[in-house]
Copies of this chain bind each other. A is one copy, B any other.
Amino acid sequence: MEPALRELWAESRDLLGLPSSSLDAAAAAAVPRVDLPPTPLAFLRDHVSPGRPLLVSAAATRHWPAVSLWPTASYLTDALRSTAVSLHLTPDGRADALASHPRRPGGPGPSRCFASAHVRRVDFPTAVRLIRASDPAAGLVAYAQQQDDCLRGEYAAVAGDVDAHVPWASEALGCLPEAVNLWIGNAHSVTSFHKDHYDNIYVVVSGEKHFLLLPPTEHHRLYVREYPAARYVAAEQDSEGEHQLRLKLEMEEPERIVPWSSVDPCPASPEEMAVQASSFPLYFDGPAPMRCTVRAGEMLYLPSMWFHHVSQSPGSNGLTIAVNYWYDMQFDIKYAYFNFLRSLDIDGCSSGKAGALEGDLEEKKD
């Protein structure tokens, strides 16, 4: 099976114009970049249908008031002074990511779990203060990233500063966005490898976003396994206020299982990298993911079902601000092929529950 899989990876990379050589930063492919937005027909034909990412220059958003207004420190805090927003809090900036299982060390069961953020409703100026002060060294990282159409919900007061939809994408896809989200964080927030069932137009307004991208065909390289879900909760809160919040991880009750990629492509230490590289050779010994930095004003088309890992750099205002448009994907033959691929059991890379947890244990026993 594995030779057939490697041939699939190589052929799909070849057809996508990606290098198939082994992991090497120099070999990482750039996302195709255009100065002007494509026509709807060219976008559909050359990007949506074949599932090929596209980066559009800042010319696409030059007319957005947000581009000049939002990076200014006071504009958003003024406009949203009395607005309550959902702030996602973690000790390390890794929401919706794998974390050490709180029952550990030494106990039976899986060593890792899938950890969701602690979500607090706070007024927007407090949110910005907490985001700017975010630091894993202090045990608290805040990220405004409610993915529930929040730009048109919590942030409706400033939604008019950006286009309500992306006209060439809406015409190509034949629909309006299902959700428009706002993302505000600093350099310490990282989004782990995952995929979405949406065609995504991701626009950076302040700072930069750094994407690692893998096509859906490379599913098995991400060692998607099933992890028990956990959630950060407030452990205590001292009298000085929320920025002194301490978080602890609690397993969800009743148990909930989440299939998630086991791979961390950017481990914090050489020791962690050594563990990752030996545990997940298909990722670390294989060809490099596509790399793409999206700068302020630029738009990334991220095709549905592509795996993406996202880190970010703040602008001079200390914030990374982005807006994304999720369009309903077309569930077509590509989706059926992907599900077939995913159902195939490759040694250690399947997503079966029992095998996954055993595999996870195995990995830690080594």
A278 at the interface (CB under 8 A from B): no
Known A333-B12, A333-B50: A173·B341 in contact at CB below 8 Å: no
> Is A49 a contact partner of B336 (Cβ separation < 8 A)?
no
A48 at the interface (CB under 8 A from B): yes
> In the complex, A40→B174 CA distance in Å?
12
A344 at the interface (CB under 8 A from B): yes
**Chain copies in the assembled complex:** 2
> Is B44 a contact partner of A7 (Cβ separation < 8 A)?
no
Pick from B16, B51, B174, B343: contact of A4, CB below 8 A: B343
As a 0/1 sequence over residues 329 to 355 of chain A, the CB contacts with chain B under 8 angstroms (1 = contact) are: 011111111111101100000000000
> In the complex, A284→B246 CA distance in Å?
64
Of all chain B residues, the one with the shortest Cβ separation from A42 is: B174
> Is B44 a contact partner of A337 (Cβ separation < 8 A)?
no
A5 at the interface (CB under 8 A from B): yes
> Is A4 a contact partner of B40 (Cβ separation < 8 A)?
no
A35 at the interface (CB under 8 A from B): no
> In the complex, A112→B313 CA distance in Å?
66
Pick from B46, B171, B333: contact of A217, CB below 8 A: B333
A233, chain B: closest CB distance, angstroms: 39
Known A7-B343, A340-B7: A41·B171 in contact at CB below 8 Å: yes
